[in-house]
C-alpha cells in the first residue's frame, strides 16, 4: 500500500523525491502516515528538523487525522499532493 501511495504522491508537481525523507513538499520534508498507528512515528521523524514538515495520508482517512490535534508546525497533505493544512514555518 505504501508503494501505491508513494506513486500517487510523486505524480504531483509540488512533490520532489528525497533520499532522506519520503518526499519533499515546497522545500519541507514529507513523511507518510497511512494510519493513526503510524502517526507518532512520523511525528518523531519530523522532530529531527524541529517538527517542521508535512504528514502525507490518504484523503479517505482524513477523519482520523484531526488537523487541530497535529502540531502547528506540521502540515498535512493527501495522496495527490494537495494541501490540507499548511505547515507553519519560522520566519527568517
Domain range holding 66? 2-85
Domain-embedded: residue 92:
no
pLDDT given for residue 68 in this prediction: 62
Burial grade of 77 (CB within 10 A; 0-12, 13-18, 19 or more): buried
What confidence tens digit (pLDDT) does each residue in 49-73 have?
887 899 999 988 777 766 666 667 7
Tens digit of each residue's pLDDT (9 = 90 or more) over 7-33: 999 999 999 999 999 999 988 999 999
Kindly give, in sequence order, each residue whose CB lies less than 8 Å from that of residue 88, ignoring residues fewer than 6 positions away. Answer: 52, 72, 73
Q: In total, how many domains does the chain have?
A: 1
What cell was used for 26? Answer: 515546497
Residue 90 lies in a domain: no
pLDDT value for 32: 93
Q: Is residue 66 part of a domain?
A: yes
Amino acid at each position: 500500500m505504501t508503494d501505491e501511495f508513494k506513486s500517487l504522491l510523486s505524480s504531483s508537481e509540488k512533490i520532489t523525491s528525497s533520499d532522506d525523507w519520503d518526499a519533499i513538499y515546497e522545500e519541507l520534508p514529507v513523511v507518510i502516515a497511512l494510519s493513526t498507528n503510524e502517526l507518532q512515528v512520523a511525528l518523531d521523524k519530523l522532530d529531527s528538523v524541529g517538527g517542521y514538515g508535512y504528514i502525507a495520508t490518504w484523503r479517505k482517512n482524513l477523519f482520523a487525522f484531526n488537523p487541530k490535534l497535529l502540531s502547528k508546525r506540521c502540515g498535512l497533505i493527501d495522496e495527490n499532493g494537495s494541501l490540507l493544512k499548511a505547515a507553519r514555518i519560522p520566519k527568517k
